[in-house]
Chains A and B, each alone.
Chain A
């Protein structure tokens, strides 16, 4: 055996597949249900505090809105995003839903102010 013989170098495989990134957490469809329940619980809470005459006016549009918001949230959770951006993605989605909710509420307040101003009550 020759002492100075070159050691055989390991030959890299010609077609090494790219390192597989671990898949991010799979979107949870339960999130949509959670947000829907949360919004509905909020609606019930608000509805209990409202005078009876406003129940029919407010609850049904808000219910439709809640369903749309939940659908939007569910669609967003189905999008594939890198795992590292998942937290930011969920935050952005929540903020979108929250801002739409606040926008609708502010719209209702403005409508109420306008209605009472018009009737002179």
Chain B
């Protein structure tokens, strides 16, 4: 019984972690779309789509971690990278919007080129270690992913936070949003970089807390939006 629980508990820690993270991201995206975008009428559907893509990427990695087959792991990491890039394009659209659609289309081409380079020249070499999926990304790949998070996802999150706080006439809480998004980004980077069971568990716990706060923020917007007569 102990071996059984160990096998499906600790040995599949990465799989459970990715699955729960996927659920967190998915629920956040869903509540943002239904409780924030639909009520405030802000043009932020792209923000939800980006998090949906991220949720699907995490779900794919969860299946790969549970499967453990090396070929499947490589394919899953590549698929996840593609979904991450697609989500990044949507995040870029949040930042740029309708102002410069040419730039958005250029970013689509750039994302396709990056995915091709990743597949052709920096082929994924992930492996399972103690139930944890180690991405084992090459330094240029890790740097590129970090740059995308820092240069696209974080500014888009901050921009969204300011828009939402302004829409519900509580500009003072935008700083709270910014802190949450920053903590979530740091936690996500630690989660992806974690190589030890303890670090995986703790970083997942941090992501969980961040997304609970973000889901609560969506509920807050929903409640205040009703008060302010935005339906």
Contacts and interface: CB of A to CB of B under 8 A. Distances in A.
Interface in B184-227: 186-187, 190, 194, 196-199, 201-203, 205-206, 209-210, 212-213, 216-217, 220, 223-224, 227
Contacts, number: 79
A64 to B, nearest CB: 17
B187 A113 contact: no
Given A51-B198, A98-B213, A112-B199, A106 B179 contact: no
Interface string A62-103: 000000000000000000000010011001101100110111
Contact of B216 (A84, A91, A99): A91
A102 B206 contact: yes
B30 interface: no
A41 interface: no
Main secondary structure of the interface of B (DSSP, over half): helix
B8 interface: no
Given A50-B198, A54-B198, A112-B196, A91 B220 contact: yes
B205 A105 contact: yes
Given A88-B220, A95-B179, A106-B187, A112 B198 contact: yes
Nearest to B191: A109
Interface residues of A, number: 25
Contacts of B203: 105, 109
Contacts of A19: none
Contact of B187 (A51, A54, A102): A102
A117 to B, nearest CB: 11
Contacts of B202: 46, 105, 108-109, 112
B176 interface: yes
Nearest to B221: A91
7 contacts: A49-B9, A49-B197, A88-B220, A91-B216, A94-B216, A95-B213, A108-B202
Interface of A: 42, 46, 49-51, 54, 84, 87-88, 91-92, 94-95, 98-99, 101-103, 105-106, 108-109, 112-113, 116
The 9 A-B residue pairs whose C-beta atoms are closest, nearest first, are A105-B206, A98-B213, A102-B183, A102-B206, A91-B220, A95-B176, A49-B201, A105-B202, A109-B202
